[in-house]
Amino acid sequence: MPKMNRRKFVTNTVTSGAGLMLGSLLMGSAHREETAAGGIGDRKKNFMEEVLKYRKIDAHAHADDNQYKPEVNLDFADRLGIEKLMISNFIRPFSEGKPDDFRARNSFTIKCMKDHPGRFIGTVALNPAFRKESLEEIDRCRDAGMTGLGELYNQVKIDDPLYYPIIEKCISLNWNIMMHSPVGHSRVKLYQSEPKNISLPEDFASIAKRYPEALFQFAHIGGGIDWEYACKVLKDVPNVFIEVSGSNNAAGMIDFALKYVGEDRLVFGCDYSFYQGVGQIFSANLTDAQRKKIFFENIAKRLKKAGIHVN
């Protein structure tokens, strides 16, 4: 989803001391670091060692030749110990999303994968309003090494019958399906300035119950939505992963999501909010085992079902 460069947001959105150290360290804090034993410098060093000990897959990343440059992705990833990023060059909101558009975007993703082998997992952008072309694009992209759909945007709601053949194809491939969720001022009801076809939590619940064998990913509960409401709606829909990225990371969001959907259904993502994405996991009240699941293990198991082995 299109957002401004979020580096400047980091120290404003993670409320724990650990998160603040993460932001100030990597952003080149202007504060004087103490050099005495046990000072701020030592604490930062020890915290970054803690950050880097966890394997990580960013389950929500983007790449294009403008706003989301691949090299910038990798710069952040290398600093934060993110091994792989699941990238898409998504169809822009309010656009028609014609086949020539999504083919070109997927071709760019394929190029990123070839230019940086082993770092990017490409996911497929498509528009189910163009059924034949979308199904053909899944085959083309699969042959090029891509896996899963995402980030699907707001041209068509996720529970629209237009998606049925696409979802059925993904079931046959064991592909993950990551769909954009509301952002900005969205709460329980659709905000008037958002596209009419944006997918609300109820839409995810509806399609996931229709296709219980499908694998869905509800994108960025930190994107400005009523994340409490979303977690409650999706609480009893076990085939929907709750992905925690976004630039509106409220205190307690991860803990609330953990309570409602459980540690096996939460997945780490940044959506270009890299420092926040990592920092909020450390600011939450999580055990070591829970961090490992959210950072890496949950999405790795889902990728393995599609034949992508990252262990």
pTM of this structure: 0.86
The domain defined by 55-305 carries CATH number 3.20.20.140: yes
Partner residues linked to 266 by β-bridges: 242
Radius of gyration for the chain, computed over Cα atoms and rounded to the nearest angstrom: 19
- Give domain limits for the chain: 14-53, 55-305
pLDDT computed for residue 291 by the predictor:
98
- What's the distance, CA 28 to chain centroid? 26
Cβ atoms 246, 273 nearer than 8 A? yes
pLDDT of residue 22: 52
Residue 26: the pLDDT is: 39
What is the rounded distance in angstroms from the CA atom of residue 44 to the CA atom of residue 21?
6
Over the chain (311 residues), what is each successive 10-residue block's mean pLDDT? Answer: 35 39 39 50 83 97 95 97 98 92 98 97 98 98 98 94 98 97 58 76 96 97 87 96 88 95 98 94 97 98 95 74
Comparing CA positions, the residue from 304, 301, 213, 294 lying closest to residue 261 is: 294
CA 23 – CA 41 distance, rounded (Å): 13
pLDDT at 188: 52
> Up-side HSE of residue 13: CA atoms within 13 Å toward CB?
24
pLDDT at 191: 62
From CA 229, how far away is CA 226, in angstroms rounded? 5
Task: Give the closest residue to 64 by CA, choosing from 106, 8, 115, 98.
Answer: 106
Handedness of CA 223, 229, 231, 237 (dihedral sign): negative
At 93 the pLDDT is 84
What integer pLDDT is reported at residue 193 of this predicted model? 67
Tokens of 205: 């619940």
Query: What order of strands is seen across the sheet that includes strand 84-88?
Result: 57-62, 84-88, 120-122
Strand, coil or helix: what is 41? helix
Among all chains, which residue has been given the structure tokens 């202007």?
30
